[in-house]
């Protein structure tokens, strides 16, 4: 009888233990939802654990939607700024501005981060890049595309109405002329923006002092050194090297590992 | 009894008085006097020769001295002066020359002629003795002058300690000075600039301004008539002009080096060339000189200056001290001593004295229980007396009592450091009693106070940092989902609209073409219309009664005529049976069986319509076949 009780107890104990283990594994194996990770990273940031917060934000970014990325990159930029990693902070603020060019907080923090940079570079960009910075940098490609589609639909609709009239008057009068003119302008801007994005990929120098060479190898003579956090334009890309154009008009080759692409 | 003079008598008296005054002025005869400021001069040094024209009228040109062996005589400018004493005016014009002997000896400066109002007046000859020695020869009080002795000299010569910079032209230089080499923080120190010149010089301003970072600056405005005087430095005579004065208030202790900047001047190149314009433009130091004479630019760089700024002593520093340095007194006025609750009472505090008045701080106001306190307007009036910045600053403080009863506005303290005494001073306002009567309820601040813009304070940024993280996780709402689809929807709408536009355009073109080519369209449509008619006739052929049969043949004849009329684009009136047969003979040939058959069909139709005879069903089918064959045959024809 005692033996039976002992065996029964052992069985009961083993089942309980097994259940606890399986339950524990299940609970621990339950994947943390992205918004929970985001909240956890925020709490870590608030308590001053910027490095851990940055790790979580970094891990969250690749699978997030565009709206989520905007917030993740902004918070990641703040974490990097607090850690003194100005180049990475600038890269992330630039990514936010790439997603939302009118993000006021990102602009403000970017200015603050840039103000702390050791190096500066004279702005001698050509007209097209300058124009992009001033005008096209303020608006997103998708917004220009939607504007072009909306205007073209409006123009087509007005043309349909005109064509369906029994005795249609002159075609190129208000509002068709005006809408068509604006449509052409928007299409030109859109094309310009697309061209810019295809040919000038913006990047941030991540290395503290990155060497720029005359050719895509270390054997080529060194052209200059670029300080971390400076923005460059990638105009050509090879396996390990990128040809960059600097704000002062110089062009040379940098290692890809020294650069952080803004467009993700 | 008063004597009243007639009007014409009074006018006459006035004219006579003016005429007599003018006569007195005109009556003064022109004289020319030459004088030397000393009778002895050391070889290599200079004496000043003045040719003074007294009561001269019109344009007078500078006399030119003939060359004297071993004696240099250089023209150094002119100055004019007019005085009016007891209604008598007198004028004098002075031409200055620098005389420098090269050898020991006694020189005679010959008489020269000066043309005054068309008359030639000769100067007196002068003698000067050149002696050996390197020291300075003091100016003699006795002048070697002739008639000029009656005229007092207007140029007293002082000894100056200023030294020309080493290596520079010692005939013209600028010097900057500070009033004290060591001052306390926020104590005034005067930076002054003086120009020393032996030339006819024009001051053109600062080529580069002095660097005065670390100082609060109050500039003294340049006087219209720049003070100038004749000074002597190492035996050389200079005209000295004070060109700039700046009061400096050092903001922090330490040793400062003041880069004094660069001064631009122009000097007249040809000192002896005078012309008629001299009279109008004058060769005054700062008034432009001769506009048409050639001038050479000289940039003068005064020596840099060093100043030590001592920190204010910690010992005895009062609690209310806010960094003010100077010598001040304070006055306070309360606009009333009795006030209702929630009504404002204004205190006007005036702090005046010598120091950086503009930067005087408002005395601290303690947190008073039972009052709302607003620091209202402040204004300052800065004056420059002598070399000292002084003035007054007025502060207004608005007190709004909340509780009724007897209250007090306690003394307000203002402390400053007196650099003369070297200690701190504290001034206090009186303890003002205030009777607060029961007023209207409500803590609201009276509009009269709120609307005073001066009551409102400016916000101040205390520090700079990055903006905070964004903690909200974006949830994809229905709106955002719709927004994502907008692009696709717009694209689809565009395609739809484009298709509709194309279709409409095609229809319009087709209609337009049809309206322009009616005959062609009829010809093209003839076959399809005929086939449609044949289908209708087939249905009609199935009927067995006589009426339907008659209708069938009527319709058949009409359909055939319509087809031929459409095919050949004939009008209804043109379409006759003879015409059809003629056309068919032309197309198919007269011997073609179809031509015979068509004639037969027409006859059959006539029989059926007019004879009302019952036809066999086969004849209906036959006629339809003939009609179809004719259509097919004609459609094949080009």
Measure the CA–CA gap between B253 and B478, rounded to whole angstroms.
66
Residue B108, SS3 per DSSP: strand
CB B144 within 8 A of CB B153: no
Q: Which residues lie across from B327 on neighbouring strands?
A: B354
Closest chain B CA to residue A77:
B469
User: Strand order in B321-334's β-sheet?
Assistant: B371-385, B388-401, B345-355, B321-334, B413-418, B423-428
Cβ <8 Å between A42 and B505 = no
Q: Which of A34, A75, A156 sits opposite B494 (nearest CB)?
A: A156
User: How far apart are alpha carbons A256 and A232 in whole angstroms?
Assistant: 12
- Which token pair is B274? 């005078």
Touching check for B490 and chain A: CB below 8 Å? yes
Cβ pair B491:A108 closer than 8 A: no
Which chain B residues contact residue A79 at CB under 8 A?
Answer: 469
| A45/B490 Cβ within 8 A | no
How far apart CA B189 and CA B250 sit, in angstroms, is 8
Buried b (16+ CB within 10 A) or exposed e, B160-191: beeebeeeeebbbbbbbebbeeebbbbbbbbb
The structure tokens 């998708």 sit at: A142
Put simply, the answer to whether B480 touches A75 (Cβ < 8 Å) is no
Q: What is the mean pLDDT of each run of 10 residues along chain B (638 residues)?
A: 46 44 49 84 80 78 82 75 54 79 86 83 87 51 34 50 72 89 91 87 83 83 70 81 88 87 81 41 45 75 90 90 92 89 87 89 83 80 84 88 86 92 91 85 54 55 81 77 84 94 90 85 88 90 82 90 88 83 83 84 83 77 88 82
Q: Which helix (H) or strand (E) holds B17?
A: helix B7-27
Q: How many CA atoms does the CB half-sphere of B298 hold within 13 Å?
A: 25
Find, in chain B, the residue whose alpha carbon is nearest to that of A111: B466
- Which residues of chain B neighbour A159 with C-beta distances below 8 Å? 501
Read off the DSSP letter of residue B211: B
Binary contact (B487, A142; C-beta < 8 A) = yes
pLDDT at residue B459, as a whole number: 65
Which chain A residues contact residue B504 at CB under 8 A?
160, 163-164
The beta strand positions in chain A, using DSSP E, are 201-205, 209-213, 222-227, 231-237, 241-245, 251-255, 259-261
Determine contact, residues A123/A248, Cβ cutoff 8 Å.
Answer: yes
Closest CA–CA distance from residue A166 to any residue of chain B (Å): 10
Chain A neighbors of B486, CB-CB under 8 A? 146
Per-residue pLDDT of chain A (264 residues; tens, 9 = 90+): 455 555 556 666 677 777 666 665 555 556 789 999 999 999 999 999 999 999 999 999 999 988 899 999 999 999 999 999 999 999 999 999 999 999 999 999 999 999 888 788 888 888 888 888 788 888 888 889 999 999 999 999 999 999 888 888 888 888 999 999 999 999 999 999 999 888 889 999 999 889 999 999 989 999 998 989 999 999 999 989 999 999 888 899 999 999 999 988
What is residue B89's predicted lDDT score, i.e. its pLDDT? 59
8 Å CB contact between B49 and B112 = no
Q: How far is A183 from chain B (nearest CA, A)?
A: 13
pTM of this structure: 0.43
Question: Which among B386, B332, B327, B377 is positioned nearest to B357, based on CA atoms?
Answer: B327
**How near does any CA of chain A get to the CA of B461, in Å?**
15
Q: Which residues of B touch A68 (CB under 8 A)?
A: 473-474
- State whether residue B482 sits within 8 Å of chain A by CB: no
For residue B360, what are the contacts with CB-CB under 8 A and spacing of at least 6?
B324, B328, B351, B380, B393
Phi, psi of A126 (to 5 degrees): -75, 170
Percent of chain A with pLDDT over 70: 90
Closest CA to A132 of A179, A176, A193: A193
Burial class (CB in 10 A: 0-12, 13-18, 19+), B325: buried
Facing A42 at nearest CB: one of B471, B493, B508: B471
CA distance A8 to A127: 86
Nearest to A160 among B468, B474, B500 (CB): B500
Mutate which: A103, A153, A157, A171, vs B, most B CBs within 10 A = A153
Sheet holding B40-42, edge to edge: B40-42, B126-131, B105-109
Q: How many helices (H) and strands (E) does chain A have?
A: 9, 7
Please list every residue in chain A whose beta carbon sits closer than 8 Å to the beta carbon of residue B466: 78, 81, 108-109, 112-113
Q: How far apart are CA A46 and CA A113, in angstroms?
A: 20
Nearest CA in chain B to A79: B469
ipTM: 0.75
Distances (CA, A) of B542 to A53, B548, B551, B554, B601: 93, 9, 12, 15, 18
Residue of B474, B482, B484, B489 to mutate for A, most A C-beta atoms under 10 A:
B474
Q: Which residue has the tokens 């003629």?
A: B582
CB B69 within 8 A of CB B157: no
CB B529 within 8 A of CB B566: yes
Residues from chain A that touch B473, judged by Cβ atoms under 8 A, are 34-35, 38-39, 68, 71
SS (H, E, C) B82-124: EEEECCEEEEEEEEEEEEEECCCEEEEECCCEEEECCEEEECC
């Amino acid at each position: 009888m005692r033996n039976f009780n002992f065996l029964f107890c052992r069985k009961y104990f083993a089942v309980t233990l097994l259940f606890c283990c399986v339950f524990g594994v299940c609970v621990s194996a339950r994947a943390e939802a992205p918004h929970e990770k985001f909240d956890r990273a925020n709490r870590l940031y608030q308590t001053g654990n910027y490095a851990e917060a940055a790790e979580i934000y970094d891990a969250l970014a690749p699978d997030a939607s565009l709206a989520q990325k905007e917030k993740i990159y902004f918070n990641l930029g703040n974490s990097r700024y607090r850690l003194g990693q100005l180049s990475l902070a600038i890269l992330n603020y630039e990514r936010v501005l790439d997603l939302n060019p009118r993000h006021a907080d990102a602009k403000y923090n970017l200015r603050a981060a840039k103000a702390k940079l050791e190096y500066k570079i004279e702005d001698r960009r050509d007209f097209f890049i300058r124009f992009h910075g001033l005008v096209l940098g303020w608006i997103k490609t998708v917004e220009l595309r939607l504007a072009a589609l909306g205007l073209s639909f409006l123009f087509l609709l007005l043309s349909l109405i005109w064509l369906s009239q029994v005795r249609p008057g002159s075609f190129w009068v208000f509002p068709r002329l005006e809408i068509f003119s604006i449509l052409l302008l928007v299409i030109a801007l859109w094309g310009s923006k697309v061209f810019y994005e295809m040919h000038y990929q913006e990047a941030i120098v991540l290395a503290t002092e990155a060497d720029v060479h005359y050719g895509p190898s270390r054997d080529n003579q060194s052209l200059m050194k670029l300080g971390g956090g400076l923005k460059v334009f990638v105009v050509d890309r090879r396996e390990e090297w990128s040809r960059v154009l600097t704000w002062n008009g110089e062009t040379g080759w940098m290692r890809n590992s020294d650069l952080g692409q803004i467009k993700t | 009894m008063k004597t009243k003079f007639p009007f014409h008598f009074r006018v006459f008296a006035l004219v006579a008085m003016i005429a007599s005054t003018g006569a007195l002025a005109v009556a003064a005869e022109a004289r020319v006097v030459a004088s030397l400021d000393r009778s002895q001069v050391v070889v290599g040094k200079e004496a000043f020769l003045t040719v003074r024209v007294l009561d001269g009228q019109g344009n007078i040109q500078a006399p030119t001295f003939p060359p004297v062996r071993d004696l240099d005589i250089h023209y150094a400018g002119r100055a004019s002066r007019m005085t009016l004493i007891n209604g008598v005016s007198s004028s004098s014009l002075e031409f200055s020359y620098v005389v420098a002997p090269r050898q020991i000896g006694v020189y005679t400066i010959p008489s020269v002629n000066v043309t005054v109002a068309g008359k030639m007046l000769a100067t007196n000859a002068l003698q000067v003795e050149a002696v050996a020695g390197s020291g300075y020869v003091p100016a003699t009080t006795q002048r070697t002058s002739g008639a000029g002795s009656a005229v007092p000299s207007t140029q007293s010569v002082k000894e100056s300690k200023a030294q020309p910079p080493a290596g520079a032209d010692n005939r013209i230089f600028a010097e900057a000075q500070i009033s004290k080499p060591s001052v306390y923080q926020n104590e005034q120190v005067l930076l002054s600039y003086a120009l020393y010149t032996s030339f006819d010089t024009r001051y053109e301003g600062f080529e580069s301004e002095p660097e005065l970072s670390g100082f609060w600056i109050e500039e003294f405005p340049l006087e219209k008539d720049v003070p100038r005087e004749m000074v002597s430095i190492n035996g050389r005579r200079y005209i000295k002009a004070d060109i700039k004065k700046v009061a400096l208030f050092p903001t922090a202790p330490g040793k400062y080096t003041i880069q004094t900047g660069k001064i631009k001047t122009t000097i007249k190149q040809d000192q002896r060339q005078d012309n008629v314009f001299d009279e109008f433009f004058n060769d005054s130091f700062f008034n432009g000189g001769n506009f048409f004479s050639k001038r050479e630019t000289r940039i003068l760089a005064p020596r840099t200056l060093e100043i030590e700024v001592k920190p204010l002593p910690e010992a005895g520093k009062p609690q209310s001290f806010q960094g003010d340095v100077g010598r001040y007194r304070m006055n306070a006025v309360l606009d009333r001593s009795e006030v209702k609750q929630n009504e404002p009472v204004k205190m006007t505090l005036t702090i005046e004295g010598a120091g950086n008045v503009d930067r005087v701080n408002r005395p601290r106001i303690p947190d008073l229980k039972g009052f709302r306190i607003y620091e209202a307007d402040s204004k300052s009036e800065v004056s420059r007396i002598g070399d000292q910045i002084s003035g007054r600053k007025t502060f207004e403080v608005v007190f709004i009592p909340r509780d009724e009863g007897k209250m007090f506005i306690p003394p307000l303290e203002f402390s400053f450091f007196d650099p003369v005494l070297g200690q701190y001073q504290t001034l206090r306002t009186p303890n003002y009693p205030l009777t607060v009567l029961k007023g209207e309820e409500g803590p609201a601040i009276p509009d009269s106070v709120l609307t005073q813009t001066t009551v409102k304070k400016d916000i101040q940024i205390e520090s700079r940092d990055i903006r905070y993280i964004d903690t909200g996780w974006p949830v994809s709402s229905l709106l955002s989902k719709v927004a994502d689809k907008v692009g696709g929807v717009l694209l689809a709408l565009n395609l739809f609209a484009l298709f509709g536009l194309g279709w409409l355009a095609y229809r319009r073109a087709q209609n337009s073409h049809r309206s322009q080519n009616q005959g062609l369209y009829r010809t093209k449509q003839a076959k399809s219309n005929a086939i449609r008619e044949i289908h209708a006739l087939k249905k009609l052929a199935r009927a067995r009664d006589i009426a339907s049969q008659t209708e069938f043949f009527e319709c058949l004849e009409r359909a055939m005529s319509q087809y031929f009329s459409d095919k050949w684009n004939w009008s209804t009136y043109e379409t006759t049976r003879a015409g059809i047969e003629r056309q068919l003979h032309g197309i198919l040939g007269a011997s073609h069986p179809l031509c015979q058959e068509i004639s037969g069909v027409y006859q059959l139709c006539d029989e059926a319509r007019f004879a009302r005879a019952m036809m066999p069903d086969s004849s209906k089918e036959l006629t339809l076949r003939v009609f179809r064959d004719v259509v097919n045959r004609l459609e094949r024809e080009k």
